[in-house]
Amino acid sequence: MWGNPDPDRPRDPTRTGRWNYTPALRRIRRVLILVDISQIKPLMEEQFSDAMAVTSCEHLSDLRAPLFTYAPLLNPGQPQTTSAGDLLYNIGQYIYNTWGVNVDADTMDVRWSDRTGDTFALRPPHIIGRILLENRPNWAQAQDIGIFGSLLAFTSPTQPYIMRMSCHKALPPNHPP
């Protein structure tokens, strides 16, 4: 029963019955993306919504940061497939679920600082994993502290890399005239 399924054709002894082995992902660290969405307030006001202004209170500044932060935790394989467009769509869903205002993903930009300290807008096709590999090559081994490139080694394999971004009204496309 478990032997050769076709006795008329003898089994080839040079062929081994092994599975094709696929190595584990090189980057085994999760990524926590913290997106500050407080800069979207003018975009919501353009839609005649004061929901963000009403929910912000200067006297309760401790509550402001969590309410105006979108924070997805990406599992190890997700940075290679998650794009800036995915983030923008999910931020729009978060704003709708929190304040009941529909903000289109095309009207927002996600901005991030590279290792030189320059801030640039991520366009929808940019992939998070590729951005990390190009700008933070040591992201799986250590957390970047500040813009001067100092690294703090992770103390646990379960600690996520923290990627801080901000969300703003979309910049106009940079097409030459």
pLDDT of residue 44: 78
Token look-up 């009403």 returns 54
The 3-state secondary structure of 93-122, one letter per residue: HHHHHHHCCCCCHHHEEEEEECCCCCEEEE
Query: Would you say residue 157 lies in a domain?
Result: yes
Structural domain including 58 reads 31-169
Query: Would you say residue 2 lies in a domain?
Result: no
Q: How confident is the model at residue 99 (pLDDT cuts 50, 70, 90)?
A: confident
Query: Would you say residue 12 lies in a domain?
Result: no
Instruction: Write the single-letter amino acid at 63.
Output: L
Q: How confident is the model at residue 22 (pLDDT cuts 50, 70, 90)?
A: very low
Query: Would you say residue 1 lies in a domain?
Result: no
The reply to whether the predicted model has a pTM over 0.75 is no
Query: Would you say residue 6 lies in a domain?
Result: no
pLDDT of residue 10 exceeding 70: no
Give the CA angle between residues 82, 37, 145 to the nearest 5°. 70
Select from 45, 65, 43, 66 the least CA-distant residue to 54. 45
pLDDT of residue 160 exceeding 70: yes
Query: Would you say residue 10 lies in a domain?
Result: no
pLDDT of residue 25: 43
Query: Would you say residue 4 lies in a domain?
Result: no
Helices (H), the chain: 41-46, 51-55, 61-67, 84-99, 128-135
pLDDT tens for 58-90 read 655 555 556 788 999 999 889 999 999 999 999
Rank 4-18, 57-71, 143-157 by mean pLDDT and report only the highest. Answer: 143-157
Query: Would you say residue 17 lies in a domain?
Result: no
How many structural domains does the chain have? 1
Question: Taking the CB of residue 29, how many other CB atoms lie within 10 A of it?
Answer: 20
